[in-house]
C-alpha cells in the first residue's frame, strides 16, 4: 500500500494512507463548545447509555450470554443482525472513551468485551444467529443473513478501539474475525458476497490500521464480485443489494440506500488504497448524480419505503420520504471519503447538510427517542411512542425509544462521538477547516511547522467564525476555511482589519502566522427562500426556507392550524426577529367533495391570513408533542 499518511495510529474512523487531504484526528481536534459540543454531551450522557440499556432490555446483548450458556437458539432475541448494533454501540463507546477518557464508560466497554469474547469460535467465527445445532448453518443465507455485515461493524468497532486505545482483547477479536473472513471468502474460498455491504469499508480500514495487505485484497474482492448476480433472486430485484451492475460500471446509486452508500464508501477506500483512479472516478460520478437528482433538501437519501430504496431521478416526494437516518450516516461517510480523496469542498458541503439536517434530526432533544425515517411532510399528527415499548415500525410518526430494527440510534451515536474527525484536514501546504465548530485544532505539518488554532463560532445558528492562531509558524502556510455552497453572496473574510468578499469553496489566508493572529469569516446566515428543480414534480409550486446550513420547517405547533393547506407569500422575504425565522402564512379551509378532482381549479373556500408564523429548524421538529409539519410550502 502507498504510505503517504501514517494511517495506523490515528484516532479516526477513516484514515486513508494517501489522498489530497489528511483528516485530523480526535487528538488533534477537540470540540470545545457550541452546537456539536452540546450534541456530543447529549450523546455521552444519554444516548450511548440509552442504547446500551435498550439492548440489555430486549436481549440483544444477552444473546452473547445465551450463546455461552448453550441457550441458543431457544433464547435468541431480535433480528438476525442484532449483534451488529452491539458492535456499533461499542464503536460509539470507543470513540467516546478516546475523546474523553471516561473511566466509567471504559468499565462498561470491558464488561461487554467479557461477554462477547467467549462466543468467538476457534476459527474466528462469531455470530449469535447461525451455526449452532438448531440454527441455520453458517453462510447458508447470503442474501439476508447479514453475517459479513455484522463482522463489518465488529471490525469497525475494533479499529476504533485500536486507534484510540491500542491493540487489546477486543481488537484481537475483530482481527480474528477478519482473518476468518479472508480465509473463508478469499480467492480460493466461497465465491460470494453479503446481501448488505459493510464488510468492504471495514476490511479496508483494518488494512490501514494493521498495515496488512490481505484485508485490503479481500475488501477489493468483495467490491469487484458485486454486480454479477452472485446472490439469489429476491422480491425487490438485484438492484436492492447492488447486484444489478458492477460498481465501476454503475451510473448512479440505486436500490437500498444504506446498502448503496456503504458499498460506495468501501469502493472509495479500496480505490484510494490501490490507486484505482477509474473506480474513484466512477463512484464520484455516481455520487454527483445522486446528489443532483436523488437527494432531498435535507441531504436525505431514499425516496421509497418499499425496499428502503432510492427512487428514480427527481422522484422526491416529501410526504413519502424514507430518508433513513442511517442513509444520512452513509452519505456523510461517502462525502468525507471523497473530500479526503479529491480535496473538493463540495463533498464537505454534503457532509454538513446531512449531519445537520438528517443525523441531527434523529434524536429527540432529551436523547431518549429517535427518528428512523425522516419525512419532509407529516400529514397527520403522530402518536407519542410509549417510552417502554419497542416500536414495531421504522416509519414511526414520532421519535421512538427503540425499534424492532434499531440500526439508527447506534449509528447516530458512533457518528456524533467521532464528529471531531470531520472538523479539519491538512495537506503539505496547511490546514483546512471543513466543518465549522468551536474547537481547538493542534497539529504539525509534515515539515514540523506547528499549527495551533482556536476556532470560536455559534454556527450553525450564527455565521461568524473566528480563528485565533496560538503558535508562531516556522514558515508560511495556508489556512483555508470552507465557505459552504449555500453562501453564494455576502460571505466576508476579515484579516488585519481588511475585508474581502469570498465565494463558496475555500477562503484562504497564506502567511507565516504569528501567535495572536486572527482570521474571521462572516457567513451570511440569514433566512432565505429555496426553490426546487421543476423536475421534482412533488414540490412544484412550493418553496422552502433555509437559514445558513439549516433547513427550516413549518410545524402545526406554531400555526395553530393544520399545515397541509398552508401557503406562504414569497413576495416578502422571511423575517428574523428575536432569534426566530418568520414567514407570512395563509391558511385555507378545505372544501369537502365526494370526488377530489373537480372540473374547475380547486380554490379553497376560505383563505385566512395567519400573519407571521415562526419556523423551526427541521432537526428540531417533533419535540413539542404530536404535530403536522412541512418543509416545502406552497406559494400563495
Ligand atoms: Zn437505520
pLDDT tens readout for residues 161-208 = 999 999 999 999 999 999 999 999 999 999 999 999 999 999 999 999
Q: Find the 394 Cα to ligand 1 centroid distance in Å.
A: 8
pLDDT band at residue 605, thresholds of 50, 70 and 90?
Answer: low
Tens of pLDDT, residue by residue over 245-299, are: 999 999 999 999 999 999 999 999 999 999 999 999 999 999 999 999 999 999 9
Residue 173 falls within a domain, yes or no?
Answer: yes
Q: Find the 325 Cα to ligand 1 centroid distance in Å.
A: 5
Tell me the CATH number at 251.
1.50.10.20
Q: For 15-30, what is the mean pLDDT? A: 97
Do 280 and 303 sit in the same domain of this protein? yes
pLDDT band at residue 3, thresholds of 50, 70 and 90?
Answer: very low
Do 246 and 134 sit in the same domain of this protein? no
Q: Given this model, what pLDDT does residue 419 score?
A: 98
* Residue 510, number of CB atoms within 10 A of its CB: 12
Q: For 215-234, what is the mean pLDDT? A: 97
Q: Given this model, what pLDDT does residue 5 score?
A: 56
Q: Find the 369 Cα to ligand 1 centroid distance in Å.
A: 14
318 pLDDT higher than 90:
yes
Going 149 to 262 to 317 to 240, the CA torsion angle's sign is: negative
Going 336 to 395 to 583 to 538, the CA torsion angle's sign is: positive
Q: For 71-79, what is the mean pLDDT? A: 98
Q: What's the helix, strand, coil split of the chain in %, to 5?
A: 35, 20, 45
Do 482 and 538 sit in the same domain of this protein? no
137 pLDDT higher than 90:
yes
Among 492, 522, 552, residue at a domain's last position: 522
Q: Find the 326 Cα to ligand 1 centroid distance in Å.
A: 4
Tens of pLDDT, residue by residue over 382-396, are: 888 888 889 877 776
Range from 136-145, 377-386, 392-401, 427-436 carrying the lowest mean pLDDT: 392-401
Q: Find the 400 Cα to ligand 1 centroid distance in Å.
A: 13
d(CA 491, CA 125): 54
Do 445 and 372 sit in the same domain of this protein? no
Query: In whole angstroms, what separates CA 110 from the centre of its chain?
Result: 27
Cβ 506 vs Cβ 481: under 8 Å:
yes
Do 593 and 497 sit in the same domain of this protein? no
Q: For 95-114, what is the mean pLDDT? A: 97
Q: Find the 406 Cα to ligand 1 centroid distance in Å.
A: 6
Do 46 and 179 sit in the same domain of this protein? yes
Residue 419 falls within a domain, yes or no?
Answer: no
Tens of pLDDT, residue by residue over 27-68, are: 999 999 999 999 999 999 999 999 999 999 999 999 999 999
Q: Find the 38 Cα to ligand 1 centroid distance in Å.
A: 23
Q: Given this model, what pLDDT does residue 522 score?
A: 98
Q: Find the 434 Cα to ligand 1 centroid distance in Å.
A: 26
Q: For 351-370, what is the mean pLDDT? A: 98
pLDDT band at residue 8, thresholds of 50, 70 and 90?
Answer: low
In the chain, the number of structural domains is 4
Q: Find the 525 Cα to ligand 1 centroid distance in Å.
A: 31
Quick one: CA torsion of 7, 11, 16, 20, rounded to 10 degrees?
-110
Q: Find the 257 Cα to ligand 1 centroid distance in Å.
A: 10
Tell me the CATH number at 450.
2.60.40
Q: Given this model, what pLDDT does residue 20 score?
A: 97
Report which of 543, 563, 512 is spatially closest to residue 633, judged by C-alpha positions.
Answer: 543
Residue numbers of the domain that contains 247: 237-379
Do 128 and 188 sit in the same domain of this protein? yes
**pTM beyond cutoff 0.85:** yes
Q: Find the 361 Cα to ligand 1 centroid distance in Å.
A: 13
Q: Given this model, what pLDDT does residue 606 score?
A: 75
pLDDT band at residue 7, thresholds of 50, 70 and 90?
Answer: low
Do 72 and 221 sit in the same domain of this protein? yes
Q: Find the 372 Cα to ligand 1 centroid distance in Å.
A: 6
Cβ 96 vs Cβ 76: under 8 Å:
no
Q: For 561-572, what is the mean pLDDT? A: 84
> Could you give the angle at which helices 199-210 and 257-274 cross, rounded to 10 degrees?
30
Q: Find the 410 Cα to ligand 1 centroid distance in Å.
A: 9
Q: For 544-567, what is the mean pLDDT? A: 92
- Quote the mean pLDDT of the chain: 95
Residue 2 falls within a domain, yes or no?
Answer: no
Q: Find the 407 Cα to ligand 1 centroid distance in Å.
A: 4
Amino acid at each position: 500500500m502507498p504510505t503517504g499518511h501514517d494511517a495506523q495510529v490515528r484516532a479516526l474512523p477513516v484514515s486513508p494512507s494517501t489522498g489530497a487531504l489528511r483528516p485530523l484526528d480526535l487528538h488533534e481536534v477537540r470540540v470545545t463548545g457550541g452546537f456539536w459540543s452540546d450534541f456530543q454531551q447529549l450523546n455521552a450522557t444519554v444516548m450511548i447509555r440509552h442504547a446500551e440499556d435498550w439492548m440489555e432490555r430486549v436481549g440483544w446483548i444477552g444473546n452473547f450470554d445465551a450463546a455461552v450458556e448453550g441457550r441458543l437458539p431457544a433464547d435468541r432475541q431480535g433480528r438476525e443482525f442484532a449483534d451488529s448494533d452491539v458492535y456499533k454501540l461499542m464503536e460509539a463507546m470507543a470513540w467516546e472513551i478516546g475523546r474523553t477518557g471516561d473511566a466509567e464508560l471504559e468499565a462498561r466497554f470491558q464488561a461487554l468485551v467479557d461477554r462477547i469474547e467467549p462466543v468467538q469460535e476457534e476459527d474466528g467465527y462469531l455470530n449469535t444467529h447461525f451455526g449452532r445445532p438448531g440454527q441455520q448453518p453458517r453462510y447458508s443465507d447470503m442474501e439476508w443473513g447479514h453475517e459479513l455485515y455484522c463482522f463489518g461493524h465488529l471490525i469497525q468497532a475494533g479499529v476504533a478501539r485500536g486507534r484510540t486505545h491500542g491493540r487489546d482483547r477486543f481488537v484481537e477479536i475483530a482481527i480474528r474475525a477478519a482473518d476468518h473472513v479472508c480465509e473463508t471468502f478469499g480467492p480460493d474460498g466461497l465465491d460470494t458476497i453479503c446481501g448488505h455491504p459493510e464488510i468492504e469499508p471495514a476490511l479496508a480500514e483494518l488494512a490501514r490500521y494493521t498495515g496488512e495487505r490481505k484485508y485490503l485484497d479481500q475488501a477489493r474482492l468483495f467490491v469487484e464480485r458485486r454486480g454479477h448476480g452472485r446472490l439469489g433472486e429476491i422480491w425487490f430485484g438485484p438492484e436492492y443489494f447492488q447486484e444489478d451492475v458492477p460498481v465501476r460500471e454503475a451510473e448512479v446509486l440505486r436500490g437500498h440506500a444504506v446498502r448503496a452508500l456503504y458499498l460506495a464508501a468501501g469502493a472509495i477506500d479500496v480505490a484510494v488504497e490501490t490507486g484505482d483512479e477509474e473506480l474513484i472516478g466512477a463512484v464520484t460520478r455516481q455520487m454527483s448524480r445522486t446528489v443532483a437528482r436523488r437527494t432531498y433538501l435535507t441531504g436525505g437519501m431514499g425516496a421509497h419505503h418499499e425496499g428502503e430504496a432510492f427512487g428514480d431521478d427527481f422522484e422526491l416526494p416529501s410526504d413519502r420520504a424514507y430518508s433513513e437516518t442511517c442513509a444520512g450516516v452513509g452519505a456523510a461517510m461517502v462525502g468525507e471519503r471523497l473530500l479526503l480523496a479529491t480535496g473538493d469542498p463540495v463533498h464537505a458541503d454534503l457532509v454538513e447538510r446531512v449531519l445537520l439536517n438528517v443525523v441531527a434530526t434523529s434524536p429527540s432533544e432529551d436523547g431518549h427517542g429517535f427518528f428512523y425515517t425522516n419525512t419532509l411532510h407529516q400529514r397527520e399528527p403522530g402518536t407519542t411512542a410509549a417510552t417502554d415499548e419497542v416500536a414495531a415500525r421504522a416509519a414511526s410518526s414520532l421519535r421512538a425509544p427503540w425499534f424492532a430494527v434499531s440500526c439508527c440510534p447506534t449509528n447516530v451515536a458512533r457518528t456524533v462521538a467521532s464528529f471531531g474527525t470531520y472538523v479539519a484536514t491538512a495537506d503539505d501546504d496547511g490546514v483546512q477547516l471543513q466543518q465549522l465548530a468551536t474547537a481547538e485544532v493542534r497539529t504539525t505539518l509534515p515539515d514540523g511547522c506547528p499549527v495551533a488554532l482556536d476556532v470560536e463560532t455559534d454556527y450553525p445558528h450564527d455565521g461568524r467564525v473566528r480563528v485565533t492562531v496560538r503558535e508562531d509558524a516556522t514558515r508560511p502556510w495556508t489556512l483555508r476555511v470552507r465557505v459552504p455552497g449555500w453562501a453564494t453572496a455576502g460571505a466576508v473574510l476579515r484579516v488585519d482589519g481588511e475585508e474581502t468578499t469570498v465565494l463558496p469553496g475555500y477562503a484562504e489566508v497564506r502567511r507565516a502566522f504569528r501567535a495572536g493572529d486572527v482570521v474571521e469569516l462572516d457567513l451570511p446566515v440569514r433566512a432565505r427562500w429555496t426553490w426546487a428543480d421543476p423536475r421534482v414534480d412533488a414540490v412544484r409550486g412550493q418553496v422552502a426556507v433555509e437559514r445558513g446550513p439549516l433547513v427550516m420547517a413549518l410545524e402545526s405547533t406554531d400555526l395553530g392550524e393544520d399545515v397541509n393547506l398552508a401557503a406562504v407569500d414569497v413576495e416578502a422575504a422571511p423575517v428574523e426577529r428575536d432569534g426566530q425565522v418568520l414567514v407570512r402564512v395563509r391558511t385555507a379551509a378545505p372544501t369537502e367533495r365526494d370526488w377530489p378532482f373537480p372540473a374547475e381549479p380547486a380554490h379553497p373556500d376560505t383563505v385566512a391570513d395567519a400573519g407571521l408564523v415562526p419556523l423551526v429548524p427541521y432537526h428540531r421538529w417533533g419535540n413539542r408533542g404530536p404535530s403536522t409539519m412541512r418543509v416545502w410550502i406552497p406559494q400563495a
